[in-house]
Chain A
Amino acid sequence: MQALLGQLLIGLINGSFYALLSLGLAIIFGLLRVINFAHGAQYMLGAFFAWLLLSHFGLGYWPALVVAPIAVGLVGAVIERTMLRRLYTLDPLYGLLFTFGLALTIEGTFRYLYGASGQPYATPAALAGGTNLGFMFLPIYRGWVIVFSLVVCIGTWLVIEKTKLGSYLRAATENPVLVQSFGINVPFLLTLTYALGAALAALAGVLAAPIYQVSPLMGSNIIIVVFAVVVVGGMGSIMGAIVTGYLLGVAEGLTKVFYPEASNIVIFVIMAIVLLIRPAGLFGRDA
Chain B
Amino acid sequence: MTLTLDIEKPKEKSPVVAQTVFLGLGLALLILAPLFFYPVFLMKLLCFALFACAFNLLLGYTGLLSFGHAAFFGGAAYFTAHAVKEWGLPPELGILVGVAGAAFLGLIVGYLAIRRQGIYFAMITLALAQMFYFFCLQAEFTKGEDGIQSVPRGHLFGFIDLSQSTNMYYFVLGVFVIGVAIIWRIIHSPFGMILKSIRENETRAVSLGYSVRNYKLAAFVMSAALTGLAGGVKALVFQFATLTDVGWQMSGEVILMTLLGGIGTLIGPLFGAGLVVTLQNYLATSEFPVTIITGLVFMVCVLVFRRGIVGEFYHSRLGRKLGFEHRQ
Whether A112 touches B289, Cβ cut-off 8 Å, given contacts A91-B2, A231-B123, is: yes
Q: A276–B112 contact, CB under 8 A?
A: yes
Partner of B302, one of A97, A220, A224, A264: A97
Q: Are A265 and B134 in contact (CB under 8 A)?
A: yes
Interface residues on B, range: 35 or more
| Cβ-defined contact, B302 with A111, below 8 A | no
For the complex, give the distance between the alpha carbons of A63 and B135 in Å.
41
0 or 1 for each of A43-60: is its CB under 8 Å from B? (1 = yes): 000000000000000000
Does B193 touch A at the CB level, under 8 Å? Answer: no
Contact between A108 and B119, CB atoms less than 8 A apart = no
C-alpha spacing A155/B266, complex, angstroms: 51
Q: Which one of B83-91, B223-231, B292-300 is at the interface?
A: B292-300
Chain A residues near B123 (CB-CB < 8 A): 35, 227-228, 230-231
In the assembled complex, how far is the CB of residue B34 from the closest CB belonging to chain A, in whole angstroms?
33
Chain B binder among A99-107, A119-127, A173-181: A99-107
Q: Given B116, B118, B127, B303, which contacts A228 in the complex, CB threshold below 8 Å?
A: B127
Q: Do B291 and A224 touch across chains, with their CB atoms under 8 A apart?
A: no
Q: Which residues of the partner chain A approach B137 to less than 8 Å between Cβ atoms?
A: 264
Closest to B118 in A: A92
Of A82-90, A132-140, A156-164, the one contacting chain B is: A82-90
Query: Which positions 259-276 of chain A face chain B at CB distance < 8 Å?
Result: 261, 264-265, 268-269, 271-272, 275-276
Q: Which residue of A lies closest to B253 (CB)?
A: A104
Distance (whole angstroms) from the CB of B294 to the closest CB of chain A? 6
A241-266 toward B: CB 8 Å interface, digit per residue (1/0)? 00000000000000000000100110
From B112, B118, B287, give the contact of A275 (CB < 8 A): B112
Q: Would you call A101 and B131 a contact (CB within 8 A)? A: no
The CB with the most chain A CB atoms within 10 A, among B1, B134, B297, is that of B134
Kindly state whether residue A3 has any CB partner on chain B within 8 Å. Answer: no
Quick check: A105 and B124 within 8 Å, CB to CB?
Answer: no
Q: Is the CB of A96 within 8 A of B127?
A: no
Task: Please tell me if B172 contacts chain A, counting CB pairs below 8 Å.
Answer: no
B13 sits at the interface (CB 8 A):
no
A265 adjacent to B131 (CB under 8 Å): yes
Q: Does A168 contact B (CB under 8 A)?
A: no
Say yes or no for B19: interface residue by CB 8 A criterion. Answer: no
Assign chain A's interface to a size class.
Answer: 35 or more
Q: Please give the distance in Å from A263's CB to the nearest CB on chain B.
A: 10
A165 surroundings in chain B (CB, below 8 A)? none
Instruction: State which of B122, B130, B299, B301 has its C-beta within 8 Å of the C-beta of A105.
Output: B299
Q: Which of B1, B124, B127, B296 contacts A93 (CB 8 A)?
A: B1
- Give the shortest distance, in Å, between A233 (CB) and chain B (any CB): 12
Q: Are B124 and A231 in contact (CB under 8 A)?
A: yes
Per the bound structure, the CA–CA distance linking A224 and B130 in Å amounts to 8
Task: List, in ascending order, chain B residues with CB within 8 A of A111's CB.
Answer: 289, 291
Q: B14 to chain A: which residues have CB within 8 Å?
A: none
Q: Given the complex, which residues of B lie within 8 Å of A102, measured CB to CB?
A: 295, 299
Shortest distance from the beta carbon of B325 to any chain A beta carbon, whole Å:
22
Q: Chain B residues near A143 (CB, 8 Å)? A: none
B292 lies within 8 A of A112 (CB): yes
Which residues of B have CB within 8 Å of A279? 115-116
Q: Evaluate contact between A264 and B134: CB separation under 8 angstroms.
A: yes
Residue in B116, B124, B290, B295 whose beta carbon sits within 8 Å of that of A103 in the complex: B295
Pairwise interchain contact B1-A91, C-beta atoms closer than 8 A: yes
Query: Which of B4, B135, B138, B252 is in CB contact (< 8 Å) with A104?
Result: B252
Docked complex Cα distance between A102 and B255 (Å) = 14
Residue among A100, A228, A265, A280 having the largest count of chain B Cβ atoms under 10 Å: A100
Q: Is B128 in contact with A224, judged by CB distance below 8 angstroms?
A: no
Q: Which residue of B lies closest to A267 (CB)?
A: B127
B119 A96 Cβ-Cβ under 8 A? yes
Interface membership of A185, Cβ < 8 A: no
Task: Report yes or no: B134 in contact with A101, Cβ–Cβ below 8 A.
Answer: no
Which residue on chain B has the smallest CB distance to residue A104? B295
Which of chain A's residues has its CB closest to B135's CB? A265
> For window 100-157 of chain B, which residues contact chain A by CB distance below 8 Å?
112-113, 115-116, 118-120, 122-124, 126-128, 130-131, 134-135, 137-138
- The answer to whether B292 touches A105 (Cβ under 8 A) is yes
Alpha-carbon separation in the docked complex, A132 to B324 (Å): 74
Expressed in whole angstroms, the minimum distance between the Cβ of B251 and any Cβ of chain A is 10
Which residues of chain A are within 8 angstroms of B134 by Cβ–Cβ distance?
264-265, 268
**Is B215 in the interface zone, CB < 8 Å from A?**
no
| Cα A105 to Cα B299 with chains together (Å) | 9
CA distance A280 to B141 in the complex (A): 36
Residues of A within 8 A of B292 (CB): 104-105, 108-109, 112
Expressed in whole angstroms, the Cα–Cα distance for A139 and B84 within the complex equals 52
A101 adjacent to B112 (CB under 8 Å):
no
**Once bound together, how far apart are the Cα atoms of A228 and B118, in whole Å?**
15
Q: Is B44 part of the binding interface, using a Cβ–Cβ cutoff of 8 Å?
A: no
Residues of A within 8 A of B287 (CB): 112
A90-B4, A112-B288, A112-B289 known; A271 and B127 CB under 8 Å? yes
Contact B291 A107 (CB under 8 A): yes
Assuming the contacts A105-B295, A227-B123, A279-B116, asked whether A268 and B248 have C-beta atoms less than 8 A apart, the reply is no
For the complex of A and B, the 9 pairs showing the least CB-CB separation, nearest first, are A101-B298, A104-B295, A105-B295, A108-B291, A108-B292, A268-B131, A279-B115, A228-B127, A101-B299
Known: A108-B289, A231-B120. 14 other contacts (CB 8 A): A29-B119, A90-B306, A91-B4, A92-B1, A93-B3, A101-B294, A105-B296, A112-B292, A228-B127, A265-B131, A268-B128, A268-B130, A279-B115, A279-B116
